[in-house]
Amino acid sequence: MRRGVALAGVAVLVISLGGCAASGHAPPCRGPGDNLLILQAQAVPSATLIPCVSSLPIGWGFGGSLVESGRARFWLDSDRAGIHAVEVELTRDCDVSGAVEVPPAPGEVGVRVYQEPTSLPPAFAGVRSMVFPGGCIRYRFSFQGSAPSTLVLEAVGALGTVRRDVLVRQVERGVDLTLCGAGAPPCAG
């Protein structure tokens, strides 16, 4: 018998407690949806894309995550760029008024991309925003010391997105639950 339970209730319970922080493993772009992917999707139910990690290059690792109602974040650490070198944030929208629109990378289909360097070497920092229907994914780079700004290319290459409709099907097949939000049943409350 199908459990037809909306995941919104689980996510709302966790999110209403003020947020859910976790360390462990990065949300994978391939395979069945994992808990962090599902929580991100439920935190921003309007988002048609959910951030994930394709594969981590040598020297990069998953640092942790924080999921709250309306916002989900996870970050990556680097042996060269430092702890919390890249933060990935999913929200419903974002302000890109101070940024410059740039062409999307090959894996960034269906998004408008904006970049805003905030400081250049010796300590590189910048923001890359991807705007799409129902959401915005931001990569915030904050490299420590004299880490080369070219590490941005490694980080961007390691990150990706999962389409929400694909995640909805994976969750239905994999754990027999219904994910609510964009392109799926509306979320309660």
pLDDT tens for residues 5-38? 344 443 333 333 345 554 457 888 876 667 899 9
DSSP 8-state class, residue 69: T
Q: What are phi and psi of 152, to 5 degrees?
A: -60, -40
Angle in degrees, 0-180, between the axes of helices 8-16 and 35-43, rounded to the nearest 10: 80
Q: Judge whether 56 and 170 are in contact, CB under 8 Å.
A: no
Q: Which domains does the chain have, with CATH numbers?
A: 8-175 (3.40.1000)
Would the pTM count as exceeding 0.95? Answer: no
pLDDT of amino acid 43: 94
Write out pLDDT tens, residues 71-117: 999 999 999 999 999 999 999 999 999 899 999 887 788 899 999 97
What sign for the dihedral angle of Cα 118, 58, 75, 55? positive
DSSP alpha helix (H) spans, 73-182: 151-158, 164-175
- Cα separation of 26 and 72, whole Å? 13
